Amino acid sequence: MDVDSRINAALNNALHSSKGPACPPGLADAMEYAVFPGGHRIRPRLCFAVAMAHEEPDAAVLDAAVSSIELLHCASLVHDDMPCFDNADMRRGKPAVHVEFGESLALLCGDALIVHAFQVLAGVAPVAPRRVANLLGVVSQGVGAPDGIVAGQAWECETSRNLRDYQRGKTGVLFAAATMAGAAAAGAPHEDWFALGESMGEAYQVADDLLDRFGTAEVIGKPVGRDAQLDRSNAVSEMGVDGASQRLSDIIDEMIETIPDCPGRRGLSDLIRVEATRFTELALRARQAA
């Protein structure tokens, strides 16, 4: 099974318990709609790649780790798109959850996906309590207060903020949770994997900011120009187009250096470069075409 199929199978399995008569059908449909079909699944791919660079990844724990990371990411998209936040109608090329199911169900769907991320970890906790204890810490820190993605979003409600702290919270910390979760699922020390995830998150965010400026809604599947409309600072508004493009190239070179020593370090370096290049090229091409 290739990596994408395995990630989708794990997510499908994770959502299994929300199917059946016990679950309100609207909630079950909204959860499925928010998770499938996915985007690039970049965070779970990263988690998976780090785990496989180690000698003893636990298959069930790894499936739970990649699922929890992606469910939390999907939850954040559902809530971010709501009218009281970004008020974005489209996501992944289709109507946003609140447009398709209404605001009440979108609110509950995001909540249920957050909780589901932890239910999935609970499901493997009895077989590997120590690995799951580490995973629980890594994953919950990546999304909560003081500096996970929820906090990153909350900086948007402040009148003054530091762009780096804001983007680090908004994107970098969940990417860091993904790399650390990969190590934790393999029973390896996870702290050293923070830097790689954080760099990957920064690269992704700068690329996303360039796409917000130069991309089209058809290509990226969501509205563009939102940051300018909402008068929200991003890498392009702070560093200029050239500065942001240069920063993007620099980060990719730097991040390879941060990969900790591990049995599969060489293969992982190649894979990280491919993954990073995939989304950065999209941004740089969009800029050239504009």
Q: What share of the chain is helix, strand, coil (3-state, %, to 5)?
A: 75, 0, 25
Q: Which is nearer to its own copies, 54 or 79 (CB)?
A: 79
Q: Which is nearer to its own copies, 123 or 197 (CB)?
A: 123
Q: Is 128 in contact with 61 (CB distance < 8 Å)?
A: yes
DSSP E strand stretches across 78-217: 90-91, 94-95
Q: Which two tokens stand for residue 136?
A: 């629980």
Min dist. Cβ of residue 109 to its own copies (A):
8
Gap between the Cα atoms of 225 and 221, Å rounded = 13
In this complex, which beta carbon is closest to its own copies, that of residue 34 or of residue 255?
A: 34
* DSSP assignment string, 197-238: HHHHHHHHHHHHHHHHHH--HHHHSS-SSHHHHTT---HHHH
The whole-angstrom separation of Cα 62 and Cα 276 is 22
Considering the complex, what minimum distance in angstroms separates the CB of residue 217 from its own copies? 23
Phi (first) and psi of residue 56, to 5 degrees: -130, 60
Residue with tokens 């469910």: 71
Whole-number minimum distance, CB 9 to its own copies, in Å? 19
Query: Residue 271 and residue 262: Cα distance in Å, rounded?
Result: 14
Let me know: does 181 contact 194? Beta carbons within 8 Å.
Answer: no
Min. distance of Cβ 141 from its own copies in angstroms? 7
**Residue with smaller CB distance to its own copies, 1 or 157:** 157
Q: Which is nearer to its own copies, 134 or 245 (CB)?
A: 134
Write out the residues near its own copies by the rule CB under 8 A: 17-20, 22-28, 31, 75, 79, 82, 84-85, 102-108, 110-112, 114-116, 118-119, 121-123, 125-126, 129-130, 132-134, 136-137, 140-141, 143-148, 150-151, 153-158, 161, 165
User: Smallest distance from the beta carbon of 23 to its own copies, in angstroms?
Assistant: 3
Min CB(149)–its own copies separation in Å:
9
Cα separation of 99 and 25, whole Å?
Answer: 17
What is the identity of the amino acid at 33?
Answer: Y
Of 54 and 131, nearer to its own copies (C-beta) is 131
CA angle 259, 265, 268 (to 5 degrees): 85
Considering the complex, state which of residue 86 and residue 209 has its C-beta at the smaller distance from its own copies.
Answer: 86
Question: From the CB of 178, what's the least distance to its own copies, in Å?
Answer: 16
